Amino acid sequence: MGAPLPLVDSTLPAGHKGQRGAVLTQLKRAQPLTAKDLAVRLGVSLNAVRHHLKELEAEGLVAYRREHRGVGAPAFTYRLSPAGEGLFPRRYSEALSALLGTLVEREGRAAAVGLLESYFGQVAGRMRGELEGVPEAARLEVVARLLSEEGYMAESRAGDDSGAVLTEHNCAISAVAERFPEICAAEARFLAEVLGAEVERTGHILSGCPACAYRVRFRGAAEESS
């Protein structure tokens, strides 16, 4: 089931700290999960996890369903409800979406898309200083940390010959992305630029995936394998 994932206060959802916040965060990272999955990931007792899940379900923040996983009795798997998803950072996306709608009415959709692309330009500018002198092997980890500071709950994973993986468990501007999906393509271009790598999206929250995921292949590695 994997080793417990490290948690820092900045990853916990609004208004929920401690173990309950940690349960919500683990579900955000890898839902659906069973109570046993959560107990292993958090390093706590199964009874403690069940207690927290019961309370979170009563608050309408998690939901469960029965799933058949091989032979034996069905397992109860848990995921975040829409209210639970709403606890995670959205970076004022609803307000931004409304402002962009006004811009579309006044100057057209192209103006709004251009403004969104400039957002990634600003983020890239802040990241370049952090990435100066960082070797390829460590660059993805730095970008994941900086994206997490922007609210994306990002993590990196070293890969094989096919490349490394960058995963964003939270869309900090979800309402904007739903209305302007062009920003998702702009994000892929932004990642390729700041990483100096080939970037391919392999998972997309807007398409129903639990996270946005990118396959990252640095150019040096690509040239060595060619």
pLDDT at 11: 57
Model confidence at 217, pLDDT cuts 50, 70, 90, reads very high
Note the pLDDT of residue 221.
55
80 burial level (CB within 10 Å; 0-12, 13-18, 19+):
buried
197 or 31, which is more confident: 197
| Average pLDDT of the residues in 86-107 | 80
pTM passes above 0.95:
no
Predicted pLDDT at 1? 36
**CA neighbours within 13 Å on the CB side: how many for 119?**
20
Least confident range of 13-17, 125-129, 131-135, 196-200: 13-17
Give residue 133's region: left, alpha or beta (phi > 0; psi -120 to 50). left
> pLDDT (tens digit, 9 = 90+) per residue, 134-193?
998 899 999 999 998 888 989 999 877 778 999 999 888 888 888 888 889 889 999 999
Mean pLDDT of 91-98: 72
Tell which residue, 81, 225, 95, has the closest CA to residue 162: 225
